[in-house]
Homo-oligomer: A and B are copies of this chain.
Amino acid sequence: MATNKKEAFDTAEVSLADFAKALAHPARVAILKTLAERSTCVCGELVDVLPLAQATVSQHLKELKKADLIKGEIDGAKSCYCINWEVFDLMIGEFNHLFAGLHRPPESSECC
């Protein structure tokens, strides 16, 4: 029954929802935060930072990569990740455009 109804929605809504979905787990928020904090690219210290098993961290990284919010590169035996700022900033802009900028309550409107 849980069929995917993505086609039925606007692409803007879908892409914003996908962005939100990528952030919809504390581990992934923490990963992005950690990647942003370190000026140099971070590899597997993420596993040390997070309270999760290596396989699970890898899975979260995969999701962030799928959402195009991070880039990965193999550096010897290790693999190195960093934030994809182009896409990230773009999504933040889309987010703010849709919600923050527009549509404030029209002052005198009686609402709930």
Chain A residues close to B by CB (< 8 Å):
5-6, 8-10, 13-14, 16-17, 20-30, 32-33, 36-37, 39-41, 51-52, 71-73, 80-83, 85, 88-89, 92, 95-96, 98-100, 102-106, 109-112
Given known A-B contacts A20-B24, A28-B17, A5 and B51 have beta carbons under 8 A apart: yes
Given known contacts A29-B98, A95-B95, what 16 new A-B pairs fall within 8 Å (CB)? A5-B51, A6-B26, A8-B51, A13-B26, A16-B23, A17-B23, A20-B20, A20-B21, A20-B23, A20-B24, A20-B29, A21-B21, A21-B25, A41-B111, A92-B99, A92-B100
Q: Is there contact, CB below 8 Å, between A30 and B52?
A: no
